[in-house]
Amino acid sequence: MASIAFSGVSKVFPDGTAAVDGLDLEVADGGFTVLVGPSGSGKSTALRMVAGLEEASRGEIRIGSRVVNDVAPKDRDVAMVFQSYALYPHMSVEDNLGFALKMRGVPFATRVASVARRLGIGDLLARRPRQLSGGQRQRVALGRAIVREPAAFLMDEPLSNLDAKLRVEMRAYIARLHQELGTTTLYVTHDQTEAMTMGDRVAVMRDGRLEQVDPPQALYDRPANLFVAAFIGSPAMNLLRARLEYVGGRVIAVLGGRRLVLPDELLDARPALGGWVDEEVVLGVRPEAVWVGGPLELEVVLVEALGSDLLVHLRVEAERVTVSEAFDGEEAALESRFTARLPPDTRVAVGDRLPLGIDFSRLHVFDPETGVALR
Dihedral pair phi/psi, residue 19, rounded to 5°: -80, -35
Q: How many CA atoms lie within 13 A of 224 on its CB side?
A: 11
Residue 318: its pLDDT value, please?
Answer: 46
Residue 213: its pLDDT value, please?
Answer: 97
3-state secondary structure of 15: coil
Residue 276: its pLDDT value, please?
Answer: 66
Residue 267: its pLDDT value, please?
Answer: 54
Q: Sorting pLDDT into bands at 50, 70 and 90, what band is 270?
A: low
Closest C-alpha to 348, from 293, 268, 281: 293
Lowest mean pLDDT, pick from 17-31, 89-103, 322-336: 322-336
Q: Is 156 left (phi over 0), alpha (psi -120 to 50) or beta?
A: beta
Residue 130 burial (C-beta neighbours within 10 Å; 0-12, 13-18, 19+): exposed
State how far the Cα of 50 lies from the Cα of 59, in Å rounded to an integer.
12
Asked if pLDDT for residue 131 goes beyond 80, the answer is yes
Please compute the mean of the pLDDT values over residues 307-328 and round it to a whole number. 65
123-126 LR contacts (CB < 8 Å, sep 24+): 124/93, 125/92, 125/93, 125/94, 125/97, 126/92, 126/93, 126/94
Asked if pLDDT for residue 13 goes beyond 90, the answer is yes
List the 66-67 sheet strands across, edge first.
18-27, 4-12, 58-63, 66-67
Cis peptide before 235 (omega within 30 of 0): yes
> What's the chain's average pLDDT?
86
Which distant-in-sequence residues (6+ apart) come within 8 Å of 1 by Cβ? 29, 30, 151, 152, 182, 183, 184
Please compute the mean of the pLDDT values over residues 265-288 and round it to a whole number. 71
State how far the Cα of 265 lies from the Cα of 272, in Å rounded to an integer.
11
Asked if pLDDT for residue 331 goes beyond 80, the answer is no
The distance between the two most distant Cα atoms of the chain, rounded to a whole number of Å, is 80
On whether the CB atoms of residues 56 and 11 are closer than 8 A, the answer is yes
Please compute the mean of the pLDDT values over residues 117-121 and round it to a whole number. 86
pLDDT digits (tens, 9 = 90+) for 240-265: 888 888 777 777 888 766 777 877 66
Asked if pLDDT for residue 360 goes beyond 90, the answer is no
For the chain, where are the alpha helices, taking DSSP H only? 43-51, 93-103, 109-119, 134-146, 164-181, 192-198, 216-221, 226-231, 264-268
On whether the CB atoms of residues 46 and 155 are closer than 8 A, the answer is no
Q: Sorting pLDDT into bands at 50, 70 and 90, what band is 180?
A: confident
Residue 253: its pLDDT value, please?
Answer: 81
Determine what percent of the chain is predicted with pLDDT higher than 90.
50
Please state the pTM of the whole predicted model.
0.86
Cα Rg for the chain, rounded, in angstroms? 24
pLDDT digits (tens, 9 = 90+) for 139-162: 898 888 888 889 999 999 988 877
Which distant-in-sequence residues (6+ apart) come within 8 Å of 65 by Cβ? none
On whether the CB atoms of residues 104 and 111 are closer than 8 A, the answer is no
Q: Sorting pLDDT into bands at 50, 70 and 90, what band is 172?
A: confident
Asked if pLDDT for residue 320 goes beyond 80, the answer is no
pLDDT digits (tens, 9 = 90+) for 37-96: 998 999 999 999 999 999 999 999 999 999 999 999 999 999 998 878 788 899 999 999
Which distant-in-sequence residues (6+ apart) come within 8 Å of 121 by Cβ? 93, 136, 139, 140, 143
Q: Is 10 left (phi over 0), alpha (psi -120 to 50) or beta?
A: beta
Give 235's DSSP letter.
Answer: S
Asked if pLDDT for residue 349 goes beyond 80, the answer is yes
Asked if pLDDT for residue 355 goes beyond 70, the answer is yes
